[in-house]
Chain A
Amino acid sequence: MNSAPKTILDIANLSVSVRGEDGEREVVSNLSLTLARGETLCIAGESGSGKSMTALAIMQLLPQPAARISSGKIRLGDTDLADLDERRMRRIRGDRIAMIFQEPMTSLNPVLSIGRQLTESIEAHTSLSPAEARQRAIEALKAVRISEAESRLIQFPHELSGGMRQRVMIAMALALEPDVLIADEPTTALDVTVQGEVLELLRDLQRQHGTSVILITHDMGVVAEMADRVIIMRHGRMVEEGKTPDIFARPQADYTRELLAAVPRIGSGVGRQKSRHVETATPASVALVKDLHVRFDLRGGVFGRVTRRVHAVEGVSFSVAPNETLALVGESGCGKSTTAKALAGLVPYSGDIIVGGRNLSGLGRDERKAVRRDVQMIFQDPFASLDPRMRVGDLVAEPLVIHGIASREERSQRVAALFERVGLSADQMELYPHEFSGGQRQRVCIARALALRPKLIIADESVSALDVSVQARVLDLLKELQREFGVAYLFISHDMAVVENISDRVAVMYLGQIVEMGTRDQVFSNPRHPYTRRLIEAVPVPDPARRRSRFARLDQEIPSATRRIGEAPLKLALQDVGNGHLVAADR
């Protein structure tokens, strides 16, 4: 950066309000910021902080008709975007300010080819001929390191992985070399190794073109990795602003300090689980999984014969001891959730699942139901996993009703006690799910899982959808409950930092198989399998002083778990490299 950086975007006293049922509410209040040429500014904050609304306000894409800019100026050079009419704004969008969004899966139009979607924005803003636009599109794809760029033009979004789609989005945004790029949580929906690559790509491209970037994120790791300057927002207001190293080293506002403290870090973290010895001897285990296979058949041909098979889980074995947290980590499609579903009896499987000493596959319907009381599940999305038409009290009581436990009176007493236990109050039992925040809903889900006093709770990405501060409190609650009830957790997550903080033992999954398993310390301080190392390395560290210079790039995509009949995947053999630390041998 120069000593006197030239301001490209200048926002003064911006307020955005949203009209709701109870009148107008300000979601961004009096925000002022400047963005210099070539600078990366991160706007960080938790959900509801107004960071996305700020981005949409700059683009004049606020959800209509509810939201509007109620005051303030957004100056891009000499133009005030806040009172530009739609026709003139259209010329700025995509050309001078471009935007990429969080969800690469839904941000591209499924019925238009990649080429069409790239060229249309080029054609909308330049007078290039279709052939020239096509050439420009190919260059843009090459710039985001997409291989075989030319043949990609005729592909459709569903034929690309999430990371590839996000690259296409970036190519689309940068094809016209805009002055400002707004990236709204660009890597949140991506796997951690893909996230590393996309962030590095953004950084490279910015360096080459001198684009100014506004990066909106909730992830302090990403902030530390990317930002020159940071703005911390909360409830629509700027809480703190400063150079990245300053914010991390000397946060001034209390909220910034809290936020930074809540961020889970590998190797340290406020609520980090102490290394403890857990007896993992087989007879004592709450759940024992032996050689678990889950395969889904894909049919084709005239008679609908099975032609291909998804090998979701291939010969997975592990055990969970009482009072222990076993984390199952891996990236999307690795089979971790399918393993959990098999354990909870939600998908058909082959192999042995032994819960409380009883093998589920040998049992009849009723017996299996009884055994399943011991295994309960907490899901990822607290908004979707509670029936919106039921009172939360009834939702928590439902497992008791299903298993015919306790009288009505006793049930409501038990539910009340559960509510108190998870940090809600008993008089909230009469409310409906929509009256709670995300964190509170997840507490309701935890109460529901606890209702049957299970021996094992499967937490499938249960804190992934929560803000860090809420996440930290929910993780604390889970640990407290473990101490109190001695319940074991099978903690499924893609977030290595969270896993490092909560787990006793860790199993790393890749393409349906476990590639490494051991105690938390074994896996994290001495990762032996290359994939484990890659996963750990890919986590952005919330410390700008330890910014990585370069992230090892993986140019090929993760192979598919779908195979033709007769082409079963090779089974990995796990070797003990000392003290029960199991590692798959290199093929």
Chain B
Amino acid sequence: MIAYLGRRLIQSLLILLGVSLITFALLYLLPADPVRQIAGRSATPQTVENIRQQLGLDQPFVVQYWHYLTRLVSGDLGRSYIQRSEVTELIVSRLPASLLLMVGAILCELLIGLSMGLIAAVKRGTATDQTLMVASFVGVSAPQFVVGLLLLYVFAVRLSWFPIGGYGTWRHLVLPSLTMGILGAGWYARMMRSSMIDVLRQDYVRTARAKGLARGAIIFRHALPNAILPVIAMIGIDIGIFMGGIVVVESVFGWPGIGQLAWQAIQRVDIPIIMGVTLVSAFAIVLGNLLADIIAPFIDPRIKLR
């Protein structure tokens, strides 16, 4: 187990290194010039050149990347070009909000998705099954900003059940979590359904029935733990999709997380912030996958971490 974690940790660091290199290269190749953004339109070429030198952006790519990397090792993500403060501070102050949103969203999608999939599989071929599958299809295909605005209109504007935007109480959390969860719920419902149908066909489910067990015991004790395994592996991957989602959803709901931070930074080509958010996201994805892999053996004793 410890050997396994050690190996995974080394792998994770390599992944993060790769991500930083690719992102840095992409931003370097970007036609937009951050210096122009900082200096403003009326700046003289001399000013522009000064700022460029000051930020070290006149140096070759390899040197720039090397500087970035050496500072990164000591935990320094650099300073924002525009906001004039440390990127680390900016991210740390906004991360809790995003994590909260992510937890809410994961709960939403698991609760909605897994129960939809489970019910559909058990009631396979019936009208219930078809209705649920159509619903999941809608969930998968609806763009998040549309879902977000729709939820806002119905539950915040018309019904006034939840606040329109902002951050603070659990009521603020509901609509953004739901918006993000609906997309995932659609995927999970479909995955859970097919996984469950497959498991219900297995010999051990037949054995359970032959033992005279009640339906609930067969579904929840025998089938569910087996069916949920592929879904767990999915959660790790899912965090990546979330990271894309929070940029949109946080903007729609005015949620003060790193998604909003990233959105602002992208508009102003604030490279240190973009880099920082990307690395934090990559870290979250790597961590999520690691967690999923660590949880799996607790459900399926056949899986051994080596």
Chain A positions within 8 Å of B, measured between CB atoms, are 59, 61, 65, 90-95, 98-99, 101, 103, 106-113, 120-121, 124-125, 156, 158, 169, 172, 299-304
Chain B positions within 8 Å of A, measured between CB atoms, are 3, 6-7, 125, 202-204, 206-214, 217, 221-222, 225-226, 299-302, 306
Beyond A61-B206, A109-B207, 19 additional pairs, beta carbon < 8 A: A61-B210, A93-B210, A101-B203, A101-B206, A107-B204, A109-B226, A110-B204, A110-B226, A110-B300, A111-B300, A112-B225, A120-B213, A120-B221, A121-B211, A121-B212, A124-B217, A172-B211, A302-B6, A304-B7
**Contacts A302-B6, A303-B7; A109 near B306 (Cβ below 8 A):** no
A111–B226 touching, CB < 8 Å:
yes
Chain B interface helix/strand/loop/mixed: helix
**Contacts A95-B212, A120-B217, A121-B212; A103 near B203 (Cβ below 8 A):** yes
Among B203, B211, B301, chain A packs the most CB atoms within 10 A around the CB of: B211
A94–B212 touching, CB < 8 Å:
yes
**Contacts A106-B203, A109-B226, A304-B7; A93 near B301 (Cβ below 8 A):** no
Q: Please, which residues of chain B bring their CB within 8 A of the CB of A91?
A: 212
Q: Report B294 CB to chain A, min CB distance, Å.
A: 16
Q: Please, which residues of chain B bring their CB within 8 A of the CB of A121?
A: 211-213
A109–B211 touching, CB < 8 Å:
no
Distance in angstroms between the alpha carbons of A206 and B195 in the assembled complex: 39
A94–B226 touching, CB < 8 Å:
no
For residue B229, which residue of chain A has the nearest CB? Answer: A111
Q: Report B202 CB to chain A, min CB distance, Å.
A: 7
Q: Report A191 CB to chain B, min CB distance, Å.
A: 19
Distance in angstroms between the alpha carbons of A94 and B222 in the assembled complex: 16
Q: Can you offer 6 A-B residue contacts whose CB atoms are under 8 A? A: A93-B211, A94-B210, A99-B210, A124-B212, A158-B301, A304-B7
Q: Please, which residues of chain B bring their CB within 8 A of the CB of A158?
A: 301-302
For residue A60, which residue of chain B has the nearest CB? Answer: B209
B301–A101 touching, CB < 8 Å:
no
B221–A112 touching, CB < 8 Å:
yes
Q: Report B141 CB to chain A, min CB distance, Å.
A: 30
For residue A300, which residue of chain B has the nearest CB? Answer: B306
For residue B10, which residue of chain A has the nearest CB? Answer: A302
Distance in angstroms between the alpha carbons of A304 and B213 in the assembled complex: 44
Q: Identify A302's interface contact among B7, B202, B214, B217, CB under 8 A.
A: B7
B222–A110 touching, CB < 8 Å:
no
Distance in angstroms between the alpha carbons of A7 and B217 in the assembled complex: 33
Q: Please, which residues of chain B bring their CB within 8 A of the CB of A169?
A: 207
B209–A93 touching, CB < 8 Å:
yes
B212–A93 touching, CB < 8 Å:
yes
Q: Report B229 CB to chain A, min CB distance, Å.
A: 8
Q: Please, which residues of chain A bring their CB within 8 A of the CB of B301?
A: 110-111, 113, 156, 158
Q: Report A109 CB to chain B, min CB distance, Å.
A: 4
A-B pairs, top 3 by smallest CB distance, nearest first, are: A94-B212, A93-B212, A121-B211
For residue B306, which residue of chain A has the nearest CB? Answer: A300
Distance in angstroms between the alpha carbons of A506 and B225 in the assembled complex: 47
Distance in angstroms between the alpha carbons of A94 and B208 in the assembled complex: 9
Q: Please, which residues of chain B bring their CB within 8 A of the CB of A90?
A: 212-214
Q: Identify A110's interface contact among B6, B125, B221, B302, CB under 8 A.
A: B302
For residue A299, which residue of chain B has the nearest CB? Answer: B306
Q: Please, which residues of chain B bring their CB within 8 A of the CB of A125?
A: 212
Q: Please, which residues of chain A bring their CB within 8 A of the CB of B204?
A: 106-110
Q: Report B166 CB to chain A, min CB distance, Å.
A: 44
Q: Report B97 CB to chain A, min CB distance, Å.
A: 37
Q: Please, which residues of chain B bring their CB within 8 A of the CB of A124?
A: 211-214, 217
Q: Identify B209's interface contact among A61, A108, A172, A304, CB under 8 A.
A: A61
For residue B8, which residue of chain A has the nearest CB? Answer: A302
Q: Report B248 CB to chain A, min CB distance, Å.
A: 38
Distance in angstroms between the alpha carbons of A110 and B302 in the assembled complex: 7
B222–A112 touching, CB < 8 Å:
yes
Q: Please, which residues of chain A bring their CB within 8 A of the CB of B206?
A: 61, 101, 107
Among B3, B6, B202, B204, chain A packs the most CB atoms within 10 A around the CB of: B204
A301–B210 touching, CB < 8 Å:
no
B207–A111 touching, CB < 8 Å:
no
For residue B207, which residue of chain A has the nearest CB? Answer: A107
A301–B3 touching, CB < 8 Å:
yes
Distance in angstroms between the alpha carbons of A407 and B213 in the assembled complex: 62
For residue B199, which residue of chain A has the nearest CB? Answer: A109
Distance in angstroms between the alpha carbons of A283 and B209 in the assembled complex: 61
Distance in angstroms between the alpha carbons of A76 and B4 in the assembled complex: 56
A156–B207 touching, CB < 8 Å:
no
Distance in angstroms between the alpha carbons of A306 and B80 in the assembled complex: 48
Q: Report B122 CB to chain A, min CB distance, Å.
A: 12
Distance in angstroms between the alpha carbons of A301 and B202 in the assembled complex: 34
Distance in angstroms between the alpha carbons of A120 and B211 in the assembled complex: 9
Q: Please, which residues of chain B bring their CB within 8 A of the CB of A99?
A: 210
Distance in angstroms between the alpha carbons of A90 and B225 in the assembled complex: 23
A101–B3 touching, CB < 8 Å:
no
Q: Please, which residues of chain A bring their CB within 8 A of the CB of B214?
A: 90, 124
Q: Please, which residues of chain A bring their CB within 8 A of the CB of B221?
A: 112, 120
